Chain A
Amino acid sequence: MSFINYASREINCKIVYYGPGLCGKTTNLQYIYNKTAQDAKGKMISLATETERTLFFDFLPLALGEIRGFKTRFHLYTVPGQVFYDASRKLILKGVDGVVFVADSQEERLDANIESMENLKDNLEEQGFQLEKLPFIIQYNKRDLPNCTPIEELRKLLNPNGVPDLEACAATGEGTFETLKAVAKQVLIDLKKGS
């Protein structure tokens, strides 16, 4: 959950990128890291295997600027998408303020997306969260590839509740900042409502 510090006039929020293995979660963070000014970011930490699969998490701290005299900081995390890292995924979700689900648009990953979405719901519920009540954005990634499932179908399967969603190509950065902005906005609106 968010951390409001009246002493240092800071507000910290935690955003988690979720989704099946190789869908592009780490790539999202890397792009944001590369395109963010030095003074607005901290070090990006990636706890990964030798083949660059996320093992525990990626972490990227961002300082976006001030709202009403409070520095707003967002801590971005990715989970490891591979099915057998479920225990780690649960840990990363602790204290989450907003979730981005990164879907892999490739046809052959359709089942993996659905399974990961179910897994997200289960893991949140286990901690007493309801996905419907959290700031939540869906990103349909890898739209540049030729074998993509049509957006309408992805929407029907992954986004029955009609949360904000958008297309992306994290490899070139298309849609990555839009995604971050969309989730950050929801998190701040949530704060405004009073937590």
Chain B
Amino acid sequence: MKLRRLRALAVKELLQVVRDPRSLMLALLMPVMQLFLLGYGVNLDIAHVPVCVYDQEGSPFSQGLFKRVQASPYFRIVRSLHDQREIRQAMDNGSCRMALVVPADFSRQVALQRHAAVQAIVDATDDNTATLAAAYANAVVAGFANDVRLDLVERTSGLPLLPAPVAQQSRVWFNEDLESRNFIIPGVVALVLALVGAQLTSLTIAREWERGTMELLVSTPVTPMELLVGKLAPYFAIGLLDGLICLAFAVFWFHVPFRGTLLALLFATSLFLLVVLCVGYFVSVAIPNQIGASQIALFLTIMPISLLSGYAFPIDQMPAAIRLLTYGIYARYYVTILKALFLKGSSLHELWLPVLALAGYAAAMVGLAARAFRKRIG
């Protein structure tokens, strides 16, 4: 490998990106846009969901429950209703997303230590919000029931009681300390870098074919390895820059804690970028037109990464067969590393397994990409 050739190729490539508004936008604007889109769009938190209440008992107990619901940041009681039909109406005209129906024997049920049978009716048009609202409502009600029960038991017998199992169970769902965005954003960084990196490099060889510059390039003494390294170098730099931009937005805009070291992040990001850039390059070699290449690159990155990397959908909740599949998704390892760096502040030592896996992928992809290109036409 000749350094001069690498530099010439890198400078040329960079000039082309800088002079192409589309590439430039893809390189610098896209990451921020994606981060915002996914950071806000894939938000598993709910807040101030409008709730209607239908109180069939009308007791201090039920009033206490509503106070509790109102006090939580997730719900906002908007109306009090008086029969089942009104619930339907309120849901249909969109004035509420959830209705809580307190049964006439609510106090008695609680006192008897039975399940507090408060009914939560949820508008399921937004599946995500519906599921969450139901879960959070369950938690709020369970918490209330628990407190009331403790109160009752203490007053009647004075015996201390262990926390009821209901309350334990609901803790899984209802964790005030967890903000889902903190879990999502680090993974989004992986998705953004994969998207941008593979997109940019998917164009690099295809562009030469499409514009007729490949024939001349092939007639020079440039080696396939030089071509790979020279062409990917500027995108690598752009990728790292994008990584830092994402980090800055994650920390300063979305207030996601970053507890790891910058060096560890850059190292893992470098490995991940190597894989991603080589995937794009590989596609570019295989498909000699820019539109086709970028579509395939998009498909190869967005699909597996958004579904199987575990950035939003926890891997341990997937069916076993799919879980097995995720081990083949290189982004999985990077997402693991990112989450650990952001939230746990792990060191690279502790992350040796995913780091090693990522490094293996990087080495394999570089080897493949270098071999893929043949200096021949026709």
Q: Do A and B bind each other?
A: no
